[in-house]
Chain A
Amino acid sequence: MGMTMAEKIIAAAAGVKSCKAGDIETVTLDRLMSNDGTTHLTIDMYNNLKHPHIADVDKLVWIIDHNIPSDSPKTAASHKKMRDFAKEHGITFYEGEGVCHQVMMENHVRPGELIFGADSHTCAYGALGAFGTGVGCTDYLYAMVTGTSWLLVPETIRINLHGKLREGVYARDLILTIIGRISANGANYKAMEFVGDGMAHLSMADRISICNLCVEAGAKTALMEVDDVALDYLKEHGRQPKAIFKSDDDAVFSQVIDIDMAEIEPIVAKPHFVDSVVPVSECEGTKIDEAFLGSCNNGRIEDLRVGAAIIKGKHVADKVRFLVVPASRAVYKQALKEGLLDIFMEAGAMVMNPNCSVCWGACQGVIGEGETLISTGTRNFKGRAGHKDSFVYLASAATVTASAVRGYIISADKI
C-alpha cells in the first residue's frame, strides 16, 4: 500500500521502511526550535533533571521574537535566562532578527526534515516539504535531551488546489476559506497536504502563509510537495534538501478536498474564531482602531509590497494606528531598499522592528477595552490582542491596509 508524504517523512525519521496513520513511531528530530514564549520554562525543567544533557546541540535553534524589545522585568528575566543558557551551551541563537518561523524558513528548514517547534505555527515549514509540528515544553525538553520523540503518525487530508486566485485575492483568503469550510477542529491530529495544478501559481510567501495557518484547523502539520519554486527558494538561501518526498498515487487519505481557487473571494475571520469566516463585504463599515500588517503569517516582503501599493499616496485614517511589522531583518532590509518602509511611514503607519507584535498581544500595539483590530496575524481569539473585551478580525494584507486607510473594514478593490 502506498504512503503519504507525512508517513514517508516519519518513516525516514524513525529509521523504518514504512509506517501508516495510527502507528506510533519513535523518531529522531532534525531540528528543535524554541522561542521566548516558553523556553524559560524548558530551562527550568532542564535544570531540575537528574542528569541534564543535550543530545545534539547543533539541532537546537532558539529565537527571541515574541517580546522584543522586552516590555517588562519579567520578560527581561526570561530572556536573560534564555540568552545565558544559549551562550553557555553554544545553541544557535537569534534575538530581534525576526519572527521564529520566518527566521527558520530563511535559515534552517530543509525539505524532508522532521522539526519540533515549541510554537503551534511550526507547521509553516511544510511549505518547504518539511514536517514541522508544534509541541509543548515538556515534549521539547524530552527531544532536546534524547534527540528523539514519539509521534502518532497522522492521517492526511489532501487538498487539491485547482486554477488560480483572482486578482486582489490572496493566499490568506484561500486558507481562511479552507479553515472555514473544514472548521477549527476539522483537521485535528491530521496532516493537511496541498497539491494540484494551482500550486504552480503560489509563491513561497503564499505557501508559508497557507501552511502556517493550518494549525487553526487543528492540523498537526501541513505539507506541500517540493517543486522548482521551493528549490529556488532553498538555493537562494544557500541550502540543499535533506530528502524530497511526495505521496504515492495509492496513498490513503482520510479526506480529499477540491478547491477551485478562482472561486475564492476576499474574506475576513470575525471575532473570536478563526473559522468564523465571511466575505469582506459582510463586515464592510465595521470601525477599526488599529490595523496590523505583519506576523509569521503575512509579514513577508510580498505582503509589504501589497500593502505599500495600496497605501502609496494615501494616508492612514485619523485616529487609527497602523502597525507595519516586517517578519524578519531580511524582510525589513528588502523593504527598506524597495522604499516600502518610507511609503508606509509617509502614509502615517508605524514601522516596527521585526517581532511577533500584536499577533501575540503582549508586546507592541496591545489594544484596549472595546477596541477593534484588523490583523494579518494568526489568531483572533478573545483577548488575543489585548483587553478581554476587544475584537480581532483576520484578513489579508490588502484588506488590512485598505481598512487602515479608511478607518473601517473594506475590501481593497473599493478604495
Chain B
Amino acid sequence: MGHTLVEKIIGNKVGHDVKPGDIVTVSVDWCMIDDIMVPFAVQKFEEMGFSKVANPDSVVLIYDHFLPATQVDDSRHFRVGDEFAEKYGIKNVHRTDGICHQLMTEAGYVKPGDIAFGTDSHTVTYGCVGAFSTGIGYTEMAGILGTGELWIKVPESIKIEIDGTLPGNVTSKDIILRIIGDLTASGATYQSLEFTGSTVDALSVASRMTMSNMAVEAGAKCGIFVPDEKTCDYCKIPYDDKIKALRADDDAKYSRILRYRAEDFVPVCACPSLVDNIKPVSELAGTKVNQVFLGSCTNGRLEDLRAAAAILKGKHVVEFVKMIVTPASRKIYREALHDGTIEILSDAGCIITTPGCGLCCGRGGGILSDDEVVVATNNRNFLGRMGTSKVKIYLASPVTAAKSAIAGEIVNS
C-alpha cells in the first residue's frame, strides 16, 4: 500500500515502512528551543540526570519572544540559555536575529525530509520545506537533548488539494484560514495536513510557510508540502532524486480529502476569539479598527511587507490608528530596507519595530486595551492574547491588514 508524505519521511528515518497509528522512536535532526522555554528545558534536563547533550549540533537556541525585553526577569532566560550552550557545546544560538520559526529554515538548519521538534507549537512551520516538524513541551525536549530521540505516533493524513488560480486579493493566509474554518480548531488533531495541487505548486515558499505555520490551529501535528525546485532554491540544496522521492504515493491512504478551487477563495478573517471563526471580509466591512499588526512567524516575511507596502504607498495610516510592522527576522528587515519597502511603510506612518515575536506573543509590541479592535496577521486570536480579554482580534492577510489601516475599518476588497 502507498504512503503519504509524512509516512515516507518517518519511514525513511526509522528505516522501515510505517503506517498511521504505529508508535516509533525517531532520531531527531533538529531541536529548537525558544527563550521562554529555555530555563524550563534546562531544569528538566538536569533533573533527568543527563551528563551531556546527545547531539549538540542539532540544537538551536533562539531568543525571540523576549526581544526586546519588557520585564526584569526576561534576561534571566538569555543567561540560562547562554550558560547551557557553553556548558554543553551548543554553537547554534541566535540572540537577536528574529523569530525562531523563520530562522530554522532561513538560517539553513531544517531541510526537506528532516525531523524537527521545537518547544513552540508553531514548529509545524518547517513543513513548508517538506520536513516533519512539530511542537512539544519542555520536558520532552529535555528528553531529546539527553537521548537524541523521541517516540511519536505516525499520524493519519488529511489531503488538501487546491487547484486553479487565486483571485488577486487572496493570499495563502486566506487559504489556510478558510481551511481551518472548514476543519475546525480541532478537526485535524493528531493528523498531518498535506497540501497539494496546482495552486499550492505556484505558491512561494514564504506563502507555504504561512500555511504550514497555521496547521496547528486546526490541531494538526504537522502541515507539509512536497519539496520542489523552489524549496531547494530556498534551502540551497540540489533538487535531486532523493528530494524528488519525497512525495506521497498515488495510492496513499488519507483519512480525509478536501478539494478546493482556487477561484472560490475570498479574503477572510478569523473573528474573535477563535481561530476557526472564519468570516469573509465582505461580511465584516465597516468594523472599526484601532490597530493593525503586520508581523509574526505567520506573516512577517518580505513578501508580506511588500504586499502591505503596495497598498500603503503614497497613503497614510488613518489618524488615531496605529499600524505596527514587526519583520520576522533581521535578514528580512534588511532586505526590506534595501528594496525600499521599509521607507514606504515608514512614510505611511507605520511603526516599525525590531524583529521578534512582537505583539503575537502578548508580552509587548502593541498590547491593546478593553474594547479595542486589532487586525493582525499572526496566527492566534485567543481571548486575552494581546491584552485584556475584551480586546477583539481579527486575524487576516497582510493585504486585508494594510487596507484596514488606511481606512480605519475593515474594508471589502
Contact = CB atoms under 8 A, between A and B. Distances in A.
A and B touch in the complex (CB under 8 A): yes
Interface string B351-382: 11111001100011111111010000000000
Contact of A76 (B67, B355, B372): B372
Contacts of B353: 69, 352-353
Interface stretch (A31-39, A115-123, A342-350): A342-350
Nearest to B331: A345
A77 interface: yes
B324 interface: yes
B70 A71 contact: yes
A371 B79 CA distance: 10
Given A77-B369, A367-B69, A350 B96 contact: yes
A181 interface: no
A77 B370 contact: yes
B351 A353 contact: yes
Nearest to B389: A73
A201 interface: no
Interface string A351-371: 111000110001111111101
A404 B191 CA distance: 47
B305 to A, nearest CB: 14
Nearest to A86: B320
Interface stretch (A139-147, A184-192, A262-270, A328-336): A328-336
Given A76-B387, A352-B354, A353-B353, A345 B346 contact: no
Given A77-B370, A319-B82, A71 B364 contact: yes
A73 B367 contact: yes
A353 B352 contact: yes
A14 B369 CA distance: 42
Interface stretch (B14-22, B296-304, B333-341): B333-341
Interface in A96-136: 96
Interface in A350-408: 350-353, 357-358, 362-369, 371, 386-387
Instruction: Indicate the member of B72, B351, B358, B365 with the most A CB atoms within 10 Å.
Output: B72
A386 B372 CA distance: 29
A76 B368 contact: yes
Consensus secondary structure, chain A interface: mixed
Nearest to B68: A364
B367 A342 contact: no
Given A336-B346, A345-B330, A69 B364 contact: yes
A80 B342 CA distance: 27
Contacts of B337: 336, 341-342, 345
A10 to B, nearest CB: 36
B198 interface: no
Nearest to B351: A96
A68 interface: yes
Interface in B154-212: none
B256 interface: no
B74 interface: yes
B363 A71 contact: yes
Given A73-B369, A321-B95, A350-B96, A83 B320 contact: yes
B149 interface: no
A87 B320 contact: yes
Most chain B CB within 10 A, of A76, A342, A369, is at: A76
Contacts of B355: 350
B330 A387 contact: no
A333 B76 CA distance: 34
A369 B74 CA distance: 10
B322 interface: yes
A48 interface: no
B73 interface: yes
A71 B71 CA distance: 9
Contact of A365 (B69, B79, B95): B69
A371 B365 contact: no
A366 B367 contact: no
A95 B96 CA distance: 26
Contacts of B12: none
B343 interface: yes
A323 interface: yes
A72 B343 CA distance: 28
7 shortest A-B CB distances, which residue pairs?
A: A368-B75, A69-B366, A364-B68, A76-B369, A71-B364, A96-B351, A387-B72
Interface of B: 67-76, 78-79, 82, 95-96, 320, 322, 324, 330, 333-334, 337-338, 342-343, 346-347, 351-355, 358-359, 363-370, 372, 387-388
24 contacts: A69-B322, A69-B351, A70-B364, A71-B367, A72-B367, A73-B369, A73-B387, A76-B368, A76-B388, A77-B370, A93-B320, A96-B351, A342-B334, A342-B337, A346-B334, A350-B354, A352-B354, A353-B353, A353-B354, A358-B68, A364-B68, A366-B68, A366-B75, A368-B76
Given A73-B368, A345-B333, A353-B354, 5 more contacts: A69-B366, A319-B82, A350-B354, A366-B75, A368-B74
